[in-house]
Structure 1
Amino acid sequence: MGVDENSGSVALGIDVGTTGVRAVAIDGAKHEVARADTPMSEAGPNPRDPKVWWGATIRTLEDLMRRLDGERIAAIAVDGTSGTLLPVDKAGNPLGNALMYNDVVTTPEAIADIAAHAPETSAAHGPTSGLLKVVRLQDTKGTQKVIHQADWIAGCLSGRFDVSDENNALKTGYDPIERRWPDWLDRTAARRALLPEVAEPGSVIGEITREAAAFLGISPRAVIAAGTTDGCASFLATGAEEPGDAVTALGSTLVLKMLSDKPLFAPEYGLYSHRIGDRWLAGGASNSGGAVLAKYFSPEQMRTLSTEINPDAPLGYDYYPLATEGERFPINDPELQPRLEPRPLKDAQFLQALLEGVTAVEVLGYQRLKELGAPELRSLRTVGGGAQNPTWTAIRQRVLPVPFLAPASQDAAAGTARLALAAARGAGLI
C-alpha cells in the first residue's frame, strides 16, 4: 500500500566523494529536509579502503538520524566517484584496497587489448578506464565480482553486491545505447562473469536489509535504488531536466554539460554520453577556467577589480586563456598555446579580458556541442567558484542569450536523492 503524500516520507541520496560522504534527504516536492556530512579522514587514514568509505557513511547517517526520523526514509540511492572499482568475494567482502577514479593502469598488454577490440566511441579507452581496472583486479584471490564504489555502498544497504547502474558502468565498457555489456568484451582479457548486472539509475534494485535498517535506524520498508556517478549526480542536483538544459562549472577548469535527446560521442574531444532515463547527459571539459585567473590574481584582487569592470563594454581582446599549452575541448589540440596578449596596462582591464576570453571558450563549447548533435541551448545553470562573481555572470549573459537559472542545489547527494525519489514513486512509497 502506498504512503500518503502528506505522511512526510522522504528520499535519501548518499554521495561518496573523494574527501568525504554527504547525505541529503528531500521530500516529494524535492525540497531539502535534512543533511549531514563526514570527512573521509574521520573514518580512517586510507581513502582507498572500502571500510573507510562505509565507516564515513555510517557516521554520516548516524548524524542525519539526529535530524530526521529514519522511519520517514522511503528510498535510498548512492553515487560514487566514476571509475573507482574493487574486487569482492561471494558475500560482498572487499578483497583489498580499491583502484580509485584517478588511478592509472599502464599495463601495455591490457591497453593494447582494449584498443584492439573496443569501439572508438567506447568510454572504456584511456589509462583510467574502469575496464582496465577490472583486468587488473580480476585475478585477486577469491574474486567473485568487480564492482564500482557506489555499487558496494549500495550493497552494504541492500545485501546485493552484483548490481551496478548505467552511469558507473559506462567507463567499464557498458553499451548505454544497447543497454547491455557488449559482445566485444568477450574478445578482451576481462572476464564478463565478474561484471555486475546493470540497472537504470533510479530503478529499484532491492530493499534495505533488516540488519542495516535496525543498525542505522532506517525504515525496514525502504527500497534501495540504482545510483549514479558523482558527476551525473551533481548535474541532476541543479534541477536541469529537459533537453537543452545545461550546466557550466566555473572551477579551476571549465566544464560544460547538457541534457540531450540523443547520445553524443566524440572521443577526439573526450565527449561521451551518460544515459539518464530516456535522456542523455553529454559534456566536455576545457583546460581554460579559474586556474588561469588564479595565475594572475588572488581571489581578493578579483573581487575588487571586478567592481571596476563594465560588463556591457567589451574590450574585444582575442584571448584564449590557458594555464599551460594544450586543449581537448572545444578545440582538440594538445599543442594549443595560451593566447594572452597584448596585456592592457590596467589590471582591471586585464582581468576583464581574461573573463571575456574564458567566456568565449564557453560559447565555443556550446557551439561545438550543437555541431556534434546536441539540441539548442535552452537554459543555463552555473556552479563552481566563478558563479559567485556577478560581473562575470553579466559578461556571460550578454553573449549567452538564454535564461540563467539558479541551481536547485550544488550537492551531488541532492541529485542522487532525486533518483531515490523516482524509485520511491515507482514503488508507491511517496
Structure 2
Amino acid sequence: MTNVMALDLGTTGTRAVLFNDKGEMKGSAYKEWASFFPSPAEVEQDAAAWWSATREMIVEVLKKTKVDPRDIKAVAVTNQRETIVPVDKEGNPLANAIVWQDRRTTKECDFIRNKIGKEKVYKIAGLTIDPYFSASKILWFKNNRPEIYNKAAKFLLVHDFIVKKLTGKFITDHSNASRTMLFDITKRKWSDELLAGTGIDGAKLPDALPPGKVAGNVLPGAGTGLDPGTIVVAGAGDQQCAALGVGVTEKGRVKCTMGTGTFLLAYSADVKLDPTTRALCSCAAIENSYVVEASMFSTGSLLRWARDTLGHAECDEAAAINQSPYQVIDKKAETSPVGAKGLLFLPFIVGAGAPYWNPDARGTLFGLAAGHQRGDIYRSIMEGTSFDVKKNLDVFKEMGLDTRELRLTGGGSRSQIWSKILADA
C-alpha cells in the first residue's frame, strides 16, 4: 500500500503523520521544542532543534507503524509561517531564528513604511507593514548583525529549512513566500520593487514553487529513516493547509484556528484587498487561489501563560486525576458567569494583530478586584480573544465576504466552554 508523510512544524513543536492512500491516518509522533526570550519583545528558536526533532519524529512514526520506508511515496512539509533563519550554503543556521511573534523590528517597519509606503506594500504583497512579517526580520539582521547578513547564503522560512535538510535544495512555496512582505501575490514571484525598496538581496531568497509541486528527493544520509530518493513536495503554510483541510475552498466558509494565535481565513478566487489594510490577502494552499486572513497573535499562548504563571494549583489537580491542566482550567472558567464578573482582558501580550496592527499594544486585565478568582481570569481571557475574533469577522463582512459558516480548528477548539463563548460572541 502507498503511504504519504506530512511534517507539521508548528510554533511549539513538530509532528510527523503517516497516511495511507485512502487518507486514513496510520500513526503520528510529536515533540516540543523551546522558544527563547532575550527580551520581552524578542522571540527566538534554535533551527537545529527543528531538524533534530523532525528527524526523531520521522523515525518514531516509522517505528510505530512498522511501515517499510520504500512504501512511502512522498513527504510534504507545513509550518509556522514568517519565522526566518539565516543559513550558510550548506543550510546550517548562522543564528537563532527570529520567530513570527517577535516584535523587535519596529524601526525596520518604519523604514519600509517611509521608503516604499504602506499602500504600495499592501497592493503588491497583500500584507500590512508589521514586525510579524519576514522582510522586517531580514532587515534587522542587515542592520544589527551585518556579519550574519553578509555571510548568509539564504534566509529561510521553517518549511524551506526542512526541505533543504531533506533534499539539499533551497525551495519555498508560494503560500509561505506570500507571508514575507517581499512576494508579488498577483504575479506569484519575488517582487523586484519590494526587494529594491527594502535593500534586501533577492539572491538570498529561495526559489518559490506552487504548493504541491515536487521540490526534490530525500538525500542519502539524511538520517531520517526515509528511503533515499523519496519525493519531497513543496507544502504550504500551516494556516493555508488548515483552511484546505477543513474545506475552505469555496465562498461562505471561514476557517478559525485557535492555536498559539487565532487565524481567520476565508476563500477567494482572486486577490481581494481591504481599502483600509485591516485584513490580509495571501496565496492559498491550492494553486492560483487566495485566502483573506485576519491574524491575531495571542490565543492559546495566553492560556499557556496563565497556566504557567497562575495555574500551579490547576496543574497539581490535573496531575492527581490524570487530566490535562487545560481541562481543569476549563472547569474553573465554567464557574465564572458571563462577563467574568466585570473583568475585561485585552489579549495583546505580543502586540495587536488584525485589525489594529499595533506592535506597541500590550495586554491588559481591566477591572481586577479582591473578589475575583482564577476562574474569572481564565474566563476573561477566553472572552477577550473571542471578541477579537468577532471584530475581525465584522471586517470580513464589511469587505463583502460571505461568512455564513465558521469552521473551528486548533487546540482551543477542544475546549467546549471556549467554543461556546466564541459562538455567543
- Identify whether the pair has TM-score above 0.5, normalized to the shorter chain: yes
Q: How far 1:324 moved relative to its partner?
A: 7.1
User: Is structure 2 residue 366 aligned with structure 1 residue 322?
Assistant: no
Tell me the amino acid that sits aligned with residue 153 of structure 2: Q
Correspondence for 2:131 among 127, 132, 150: 127
Correspondence for 1:55 among 52, 57, 77: 52
Q: How far 1:151 moved relative to its partner?
A: 0.7
Correspondence for 1:150 among 147, 159, 172: 159
Change in CA separation of 1:240 and 1:202 when aligned onto 2, cut-off 3 Å: same
Tell me the amino acid that sits aligned with residue 166 of structure 1: H
SS of equivalent to 2:50: helix
Extract unaligned runs of 5+ from structure 1. Answer: 1-7, 400-430
Change in CA separation of 1:25 and 1:114 when aligned onto 2, cut-off 3 Å: farther
Q: Do the aligned residues in 2 keep the contact of 1:79 with 1:227 (CA within 8 Å)?
A: yes
CA distance in 2, matches of 1:237, 1:220: 29
* Number of residue pairs matched by the alignment: 378
Q: How far 1:70 moved relative to its partner?
A: 1.2
Extract unaligned runs of 5+ from structure 2. Answer: 35-42, 315-325
Q: How far 1:53 moved relative to its partner?
A: 2.1
User: Is structure 2 residue 206 aligned with structure 1 residue 196?
Assistant: yes
User: Is structure 2 residue 66 aligned with structure 1 residue 80?
Assistant: no
CA deviations on 1:17-58 (whole Å, 9 max, x unpaired) are 3333211112233221121123336xxxx9744333222222
Correspondence for 1:165 among 170, 173, 176: 173
CA distance in 2, matches of 1:339, 1:143: 42
Aligned to 1:175: 184
* Identity rate, percent: 24
SS of equivalent to 1:65: helix
Alignment of 1:285-304 (within 5 A): 285-286=295-296, 300=328, 302-303=330-331
Q: Do the aligned residues in 2 keep the contact of 1:243 with 1:279 (CA within 8 Å)?
A: no
CA distance in 2, matches of 1:338, 1:223: 48
User: Is structure 2 residue 230 aligned with structure 1 residue 222?
Assistant: yes
Aligned to 2:100: 101
Q: Do the aligned residues in 1 keep the contact of 2:101 with 2:297 (CA within 8 Å)?
A: no
SS of equivalent to 2:179: helix
Q: How far 1:199 moved relative to its partner?
A: 0.7
Segment drifting more, 318-327 vs 83-92: 318-327
CA distance in 2, matches of 1:187, 1:329: 25
Q: Do the aligned residues in 1 keep the contact of 2:298 with 2:348 (CA within 8 Å)?
A: no
Q: How far 1:306 moved relative to its partner?
A: 4.0
Change in CA separation of 1:370 and 1:57 when aligned onto 2, cut-off 3 Å: same
Q: Do the aligned residues in 2 keep the contact of 1:287 with 1:322 (CA within 8 Å)?
A: no
CA deviations on 1:363-413 (whole Å, 9 max, x unpaired) are 443232122243343452343335421x564566578xxxxxxxxxxxxxx
Specify which structure has the bigger relative contact order, considering alpha-carbon pairs within 8 angstroms and separated by 6 or more residues.
1
Larger Rg: 1
Change in CA separation of 1:124 and 1:151 when aligned onto 2, cut-off 3 Å: farther
User: Is structure 2 residue 287 aligned with structure 1 residue 283?
Assistant: no
Tell me the amino acid that sits aligned with residue 257 of structure 2: A
TM-score, normalised relative to structure 1: 0.70
Aligned to 2:91: 92
Tell me the amino acid that sits aligned with residue 367 of structure 1: D
